[in-house]
Amino acid sequence: MIGVFDSGFGGLTILASLLRDLPQYDYLYLADSARAPYGARSADVINEFTLESVEWLFHEGCTVVVLACNTASARALRNIQQRHLPVHRPDRRVLGVVRPSVEALAGLPPGAIPGVTLPSDTRGAVAVLATASTVASDSYRLELQKLAPGIELIQQACPMWVPLVEAGELAGPGTEWFLRQSLAPVLDRPRPPTRILLGCTHFPLLLPALRPLVPAGIELLNQADIVAARLTDWLQRHPEHAARLTRGGRRRYTTTDDAGWFAERGERLLGHRLTAERVRLR
């Protein structure tokens, strides 16, 4: 079973793309909604909450877990991969969204090797729109320097975008005002970016409102599609892990907050009815 974790329901954008590209597998989605958003929390707390969530998914039978949350990927993934898994879960894998997203930003193929695989364009500028915590972690800049050091990265924190999505305010004058405020430092530059990554799972829900505000020559990258395509490639390159995944097309949705509230918002996103359950991580 594949586990998909996010601090809220924004990670359903990732899950929707996974269900489209890899429908044969069983999925367990966990939203730590009771403690969301993670973006404003300290690194220690993000590590603690993420590890608790990953361990819960392991306990429920997941052998591969995708951290759909950018904040968790930026702040907790390295610690989990390098310190926790080798000692406690050597047969499990936890994957994040930062590395595959940076590969796409740089125009690199999946599984690019730093210093060996060169991007098609080693110059110019690209941008990441993310939470304040993801920007503060500098994870995107560090990964881009490894893969394509000649590309300039513009990082812009968008602190109000997650609350807008969580409140269902996906359009309207107020939403447009907040979007313009965050976009201005990115677009009003001598050298604007050629690609903009929506570096938070919530942000693709704002795409209809964002597209008219971004010039046609700038590509908006949907992280959900990137992650789905690159997980497909990862499973092909790691058949030993793909073979351990159960294949029944089952989906289970869980949240640490009210199940009815989560299901209502999840249905709007996925376009079909779903049943959610409330769980306790400890």
Pick from 197, 254, 267, 196: which is nearest to 227 by CA? 197
Residues involved in catalysis: 69, 200
Phi and psi at residue 61, in whole multiples of 5°? Answer: 110, 5
Q: Which residue segment(s) compose the domain that 204 sits in?
A: 99-223
* Residue 27 DSSP one-character state: E
Q: Do 20 and 9 belong together in one domain?
A: yes
Q: What is the pLDDT of residue 79?
A: 96
pLDDT at 41: 87
Q: Which of 193, 223, 253 is the last residue of a domain?
A: 223
Whether 66 and 130 share a structural domain: no
**In this structure, are 92 and 230 located in the same domain?**
yes
The pLDDT score that the predictor gives to residue 86 is 97
> Which stretches within the chain are classed as H helix?
12-21, 43-59, 70-75, 77-79, 85-88, 98-106, 132-137, 139-147, 161-166, 173-187, 207-210, 223-237, 239-242, 259-270
**Count of domains forming the chain:** 2
Q: Are residues 250 and 208 in the same domain?
A: no
Give the CA distances from residue 128 to residues 10, 70, 93, 141, 197, in Å, rounded to whole numbers and listed in that order: 17, 11, 26, 9, 5
Looking at 207, 223, 239, which one is the last position of a domain? Answer: 223
Please check whether residues 68 and 182 belong to one and the same domain: no
- Examine the domain organization and report whether 118 and 138 are in the same domain: yes
**Whether residue 87 sits in one domain with residue 9:** yes
Domain shared by 181 and 269, yes or no: no
Tokens describing residue 200: 């938070």
pLDDT at 117: 60
Render pLDDT for 174-213 as a digit per residue (tens, 0 to 9): 999 999 999 999 999 998 999 999 998 889 889 999 999 9
Q: What is the CATH number of the domain that holds 161?
A: 3.40.50.1860
Q: Give yes or no: residues 103 and 213 share one domain.
A: yes
pLDDT, tens only, 46-58: 999 999 999 999 9
Q: Please report the pLDDT score of residue 107 as a whole number.
A: 84
For residue 67 the two structure tokens come to: 């951290």
**Phi, psi (degrees; rounded to nearest 5) at 82:** -90, -30
Judgement on whether residues 13 and 85 belong to the same structural domain of the protein = yes
Report the C-alpha gap between 278 and 32 in whole angstroms.
Answer: 10
Residue the block writes with tokens 């695989």? 117
Residues of the chain short of pLDDT 50, as ranges, are 120
Q: Name residue 92's beta-bridge partners.
A: none
Cβ-contact 59, 34 below 8 angstroms: no
Q: Are the CB atoms for 98 and 143 separated by under 8 Å?
A: yes
120 shares its domain with 90: no
pLDDT at 98: 93
Are residues 47 and 271 in contact, defined by beta-carbon separation less than 8 angstroms?
Answer: no
- 201 and 256 fall within a common domain: no
